[in-house]
Structure 1
Amino acid sequence: MHNPRSDKPVLVGVESLDNVQQLVRTAGDLADLGAGTVRVVTVAVKRSDSPFRVFSDETIVREFADSSHELLDRATTPEGVTIERDVLVARSAARGLLAAVEETDPAALVVGWRPQEQRTDAVFGTTVDALVERAPCDLYVERVGHEANGVDSILLPVAGGPHVETAARAAIAIAARNDARVLVFSVETSGDAAALAAEGREALAGVDGPEVPVETTVRESDDVTGAIVDEAAAHDVVVMGATRKGSLRRKLVGSVPRRVVDQTDRTVILARSGDVVGGPLHELGRLLRRW
């Protein structure tokens, strides 16, 4: 298993200046393992009822571009990582970010998410849910507003599945930048926890980047969520791969990561592999959405 360096940029979808630094910091860590370029993408939403509808796309882009200096001033990246900015016009934030992914073919897309008090059928909100389902690249969803004040330890819960390598890459990137350690954590529920932990360590070893201290813990518990939340208290950042249970959006997101987010105040990053999106069905859906 080997996760080589990428020569592609890392995209960051930004809606608010308040969150740009948190997301760009994560993207910068990821970019430092690859091409060393972060591209911040802002989408100017032009719905039929939008006040922007009377302006051309070029005018809207020009007006939004005027705020680039303030955004870039707030978005500092690690040394050696460059930052760029794109402004796109689309009928929704999700459409704009998906267009940016299709046009750029990035190494990854980093987006923020803030929990809402009112529950809906959406797992993370309509924009992020659409990206989870359809963005054909590695995707990192970071809860904004809960930013670690210094990072000494990253928790990497593992339960198998196609997203382990994607989560491992983020864990290595963050640990390398902060001289931190990574703890691979597996909960014993059916006799395979040790094997899953070994898979997590293998995924970390396969990342093309600096060596970081890695430890492993296997814990017996009937409550997977509770065990992860309890362990998270001893760490600064939690990086989780999406799980495979549930249906529709929850099939890609999983109930355990969502419950962990609700029950911990740590920085949480959900990783979803781009390999799960694609194939004939994805291409058919893309064509139908364009029709």
Structure 2
Amino acid sequence: MSDDSEPPDVRITVPRDTSDSDDNSYLRSGPRIQTPDYLVVVPVTGTLLDTYTGINVRRFLRTAVALAADNDGRVLLVGMEAVQDESALEPVREYVQSEDPAASDKPKVVEAIEDRQTQLAEMADVAQELDPGVSVTASVRAVSDITSGILSVVNGGNETAVLLLRGTGLDEGWLLNRSTVDTILAEAECDVFVENMGVKSGENTLYVPDIEGHTVASLAESEAETIDSILLPVGAGPHAALAAEAARAVARHANASVTVLHVISPDASAEATGEGEDLLKFADYVLGSDVTTETELKTASDTADVIVQQAKDHDFVSIGAPEQKSRLKKIVYESVQETVSELNEATVLMSRDSDRTARSLYYRWKRGIEAIEDDDNDKN
């Protein structure tokens, strides 16, 4: 970043010093971000920006913008800048509080954060281009632990969602420790979306900004593949409604069609078959009339195999997370999540609903009320 360039409109946040008794919980640089009714938080790690991940950042931003647009919300990009330990945060605090932040004698950690500011500013610009109607803001957060840093951002808001990306170090655990993705899924008090993109995500997938001339591919020049068809496998789990909402958001943004799929066993009873048909109708209702949908009730002994085969014919898969004790846990996390990833074709978006059954009950209540109103209108 040249000396005469305009500073990016990206704030810096630092966790509170636990040994300090001051009232301020965060130190900030740049404008404060007002929390909207629905906020999609997108953690951005150095792995995503600095190494060859094969991930199209524009494609990833498109999912975040779609989720926000469908909920009349906003997107917050949070650059997670990891430091060695708590003591390394002190120079950042001093920098944020400094009356002369443009001073030349900056610690290396501050220089790294300023580079992140530049990166996040460019990402915010691209996200804003994807949908000018969605507000996009960004911040860089210096943390000693990325997992704790993400949780501190997303916990505390009633209408907040977080979008995590696999393949950027967040899904790697050490020894018996859980990965960041697993921990967020287990402990976050908000809706959680986990995206796993395939190779069809677009050209110029690597984004390394023009810092010291090491540009490999510009984010602004990247192109993401279009999404024409979405597969929505549905079951009786508590996260099915959120997965349907996610499919609806992406379908509306990409003008794509959605295939709703439910699989029953060959020896399914008439009651189970009827429940499967109800699930398809329920998902179709959540998707709404402005999304082109097709419903399929398949009979097979291996649910995962049917989903994998169907995924080959679609660009995007939206699926609900299973309950910990559900038999679907192995199917989704192992058979589907890993096998679909190995296909290297469709993007898989997994949704974990913080409300669990509340969202499904709301839609069912709403359907019932509308059915009563329609019946009354027919009688009149």
**Taking structure 2 as the reference length, what is the TM-score of the superposition?**
0.61
Q: Which amino acid aligns with 2:92?
A: S
| Counterpart among 28, 31, 38 of residue 68 in structure 2 | 31
Q: Is the 8 A contact 2:263 2:303 kept in 1?
A: yes
Q: Does 1:65 align with 2:117?
A: yes
Taking the aligned partners of 1:218 and 1:256, their CA distance within structure 2 comes to 20
- 1:44 is paired with a residue of what secondary structure? strand
Asked if 1:56 is matched to 2:92, the reply is yes
Following superposition, the deviation at residue 168 of structure 1 comes to 0.5
* Aligned match of 2:23: none
User: Secondary structure, in 3 states, of the residue corresponding to 1:235?
Assistant: coil
- Rounded Cα–Cα distance in structure 2 between residues aligned with 1:215 and 1:178: 17
Checking the alignment, whether the CA contact within 8 Å between 1:186 and 1:193 is kept in structure 2 is: no
Could you say which residue in structure 2 is the equivalent of 1:206?
286
Q: Write the deviation string for residues 166-189 of structure 1: whole angstroms up to 9, x where unpaired.
A: 100110011112222111111112
Separation in 1, partners of 2:39, 2:229: 26
Please tell me whether residue 233 in structure 1 is matched to residue 312 in structure 2: yes
Q: Look up the equivalent residue of 1:199 and give its one-letter code.
A: L
Structure-2 separation of matches of 1:38 and 1:74: 12
Q: Secondary structure at the match of 2:70?
A: coil
Inter-partner Cα distance in structure 2 for 1:274 and 1:169: 14
1:14 is displaced (CA, Å) by 1.5
Q: Which whole-Å CA distance do the structure 1 matches of 2:173 and 2:142 have between them?
A: 27
1:259 aligns with 2:259: no
Question: Does residue 220 of structure 1 match 2:299?
Answer: yes
Q: Does 1:112 align with 2:165?
A: yes
Gaps of 5+ in 1: 1-5, 278-291
Alignment CA distance shift 1:193-1:154 (3 Å): farther
d(CA) in 2 for partners of 1:95, 1:119: 15
> What is the DSSP-based 3-state SS (H/G/I as helix, E as strand, rest coil) of the residue aligned with 2:155?
helix
What is the aligned partner in structure 2 of residue 170 from structure 1?
246
- Map 1:1-291 onto structure 2 (within 5 A): 7-15=37-45, 16-17=48-49, 19-48=56-85, 52-53=88-89, 55-57=91-93, 59=95, 60=110, 63=114, 64-75=116-127, 76-114=129-167, 126-144=179-197, 146=199, 147=201, 149-189=225-265, 191=268, 192=272, 195-206=275-286, 211-244=290-323, 254-264=333-343, 265-275=345-355
Checking the alignment, whether the CA contact within 8 Å between 1:184 and 1:201 is kept in structure 2 is no
Q: Report the 3-state secondary structure (helix = DSSP H, G, I; strand = E; otherwise coil) of the residue aligned with 1:32.
A: helix
Structure showing greater relative contact order (alpha-carbon pairs closer than 8 Å, 6 or more residues apart): 1
Contact 1:186 1:194 in 2 (8 A): no
Contact 1:142 1:270 in 2 (8 A): yes
Cα displacement (A) at 1:161: 0.7
Of residues 227-236 and 96-105 in structure 1, the stretch that sits farther from structure 2 once superposed is 96-105
One-letter identity of the residue aligned with 1:110:
L
Question: Which amino acid counterpart does residue 167 of structure 1 have in structure 2?
Answer: A
Question: For the aligned residues, what is the CA RMSD?
Answer: 3.4
How far did 1:67 drift? 3.5
Secondary structure at the counterpart of residue 81 of structure 1: coil
Q: Which residue number corresponds to residue 364 of structure 2? A: none
Residue 105 and residue 89 in structure 1: after superposition, are their counterparts in 2 closer, same or farther (change >3 A)? Answer: farther
Counterpart amino acid of residue 27 in structure 1: A
- Helix, strand or coil at the partner of 1:95: helix
Q: For 1:164 and 1:109, how far apart are their aligned partners in 2? A: 17
Q: Give the drift of 1:135.
A: 1.1
TM-score normalised to structure 1 length: 0.78
Q: 1:74-104: CA deviations, max 9, x gaps?
A: 4343231121002222222211111111254
Distance 2:194 2:123 in 1: 20
| Structure 2 residues not aligned, in runs of 5+ | 1-35, 50-54, 96-109, 203-224, 358-380
- Amino acid of the residue matched to residue 186 of structure 1? H
